[in-house]
Structure 1
């Protein structure tokens, strides 16, 4: 059965691959984007997850187009990398606002209709950095690790309504975000993976798709690293 799926930050990178994977499986898929143009072939809604009114408007548009959101992938994120001693409170707070508060806003909005329907799938996209840490990313790591606590608390609140909440934590993935890395830095990051290679967005999307499936109906509160071994054991 075709489901109504929403992927935030679904206009590029991992989010776009996730959205396309759902669409190829026959689901009705909407993506949010903050700037630029929506991806071809997908229903796009402009949305700034740091603005509660923008989130409400986006959900209203999606609901009018394809019905209440049944599968939510909270993927929208931001970075402002800098060593902690030089990081301003504004740079720290801005990343928390997008990565954590943004995920909270869209998850809360989606969960209202899911609870009424007594069915839903919520996937929060974290990062292995949230478990292993990374120099220059205290704000990013803090925001991504906090998603685990958010997801697991949501599990207890929503489980009786047949809603699962899980976390997918990508590691080093071949996207535009790592295209600027120097060969030395890339080699250093690859050496931190047991498989000694970066992953692909398709490999992340496959895990997201599984967690949203009926085969994963008894999986909730899980944190699944997709990092070739980086971030394991947490």
Structure 2
């Protein structure tokens, strides 16, 4: 995969792109990530990239010329998904991460000030994404989140490919509780079922705990999750147990 990031602050990405999984993915040449300062494409002698909004109002708006020019200078940009980071965009999700991980080329537009000139949205961006219902000072942090989420899904990036399949949200549910050594810490023991070696019972316990955690913390996810008959029976059992503990 190739990823290009249009930003006014490329230095913000240095630590993130040169650490942990993102660095390993680039070292393995699974992904190539480049930052582009679109101020370099301003034709104004002062290198300005923003201006006052027509019709009046507070703040400044990003001009179309530098952003269009920066994108059009990227080879084969026409075949890329061009993603605008904006609070008005579709809320980013694991499903969207999986969709984007199948692409060959992603271009991220990191906004600032009061946002983008509408012509960038209408005639350049192919996608608009938001990472939540809040406002950041710029799109850089949102781009980092999405790039990390997408990159870890690429084949060969993670050491254990199976861990992707059991991540929270990957199956529409929150992940079950995890434990490691020691068996007992400060009087808190690892559940006996996980020490039993009975893999079928362990899988059933994990599914039940995943359903229970989702029901208690994110019941909205259950409406979209794909549940089979066994899952539905487990869910009924969980609800009965919770009612009996009230």
Q: Same fold (TM over 0.5)?
A: no
- Rg bigger for which structure? 2
What's the TM-score once normalised by structure 1's chain length?
0.30
